[in-house]
Amino acid sequence: MGLLDGRVAVVTGSGRGIGREFAVCLAAEGAAVVVNDVGVGLDGRGTDEDPAAVTVRDIEKAGGRAVASYDSVSDFEAAGRIIQTAVDAFGTIDILVNNAGIIRDKSLLKMDEADYDAVIAVHQKGSFNCARHAAPIMKDKGYGRIINITSSAGLRGNFGQSNYGAAKAALMGMTFVWAIELGKYGVTVNAMAPAGFTRMTEGLYQGAEPPPDQNPALNAPLVAFLASEQASYVNGQVLGRTGFAYTIFQTPRQVAAMWKDGGWTPAEVAEKFHDVLGQHLQPVGMPAHPLLGKKDAG
């Protein structure tokens, strides 16, 4: 018996890398899987490869059930066909893993509009598109699991990834909203920030052998759990992986406040900011400042 026996999953961008490991793991746990992958390069431009078919064959060889899907998540109607593929092939959809993504890394000073729009269209709009088609089915049956794949680039930032970081931060926000909207129907929505050696990260190693904890398969067990009935109490959370550890992020919340009866003037804010709020700053990308890291002696 697997965690997902009898369930039906759609995993977008699952022909290669981390997405492939999600699909393989879900299938090993008993789910029937739609392997969605358009087979493009990292930048979203076409190739002649068919990674979705390869992943389907590997799942079937292992005794699982899977079908391929080649529609693009970035197109609303095409995303509907992805979800319909699950319904046509396996009767329903229980699990959606929004993993599809591309990268076009450039600094803000060099990025053009096309680079920005293309990445947003796949990660952020694509996740909305697929969820919008899957959620009504999940609501009507009173059960569903949506897992949005986010990234530290959206949670903490990363150089050269205005487009990717914005999309991944948006996925965090949509996770919070959908969890509130869908939880009462038995549909949970969570986000996961994975890690691992893939086409997206191979440049970091410059030909060197990645360490064992960068095996992309290490992400999949957490997603399989989140996709299961046993995770019914986990909703609206952002989780991740660091090394061999699974982690959980705190929902952004206020950590300090400065109050003054009747409100503030700009000059008063400038005078009091450091003593009250400035002590909580975590400086990013800035040269040393005499106030940073110093607390009021009084």
164, 185, 205, 246: the catalytic one is 164
Q: Would residue 116 show up in a list of annotated catalytic residues for this protein?
A: no
Helix (H) or strand (E) holding 247: strand 245-249
**Dihedral (CA of 230, 233, 236, 242) sign:** negative
Residue 118 and residue 35 in contact, taking contact as beta carbons nearer than 8 Å: no
Write down how long the chain is. 298
Query: What would the two tokens of residue 19 be?
Result: 């997405």
- Report which of 266, 260, 237 is spatially closest to residue 250, judged by C-alpha positions: 237
Query: What would the two tokens of residue 21 be?
Result: 């490991």
Cite the DSSP H helix spans in the chain.
Answer: 17-28, 51-61, 76-90, 113-120, 126-141, 152-155, 162-182, 220-226, 266-276
- Residues classed as catalytic: 164
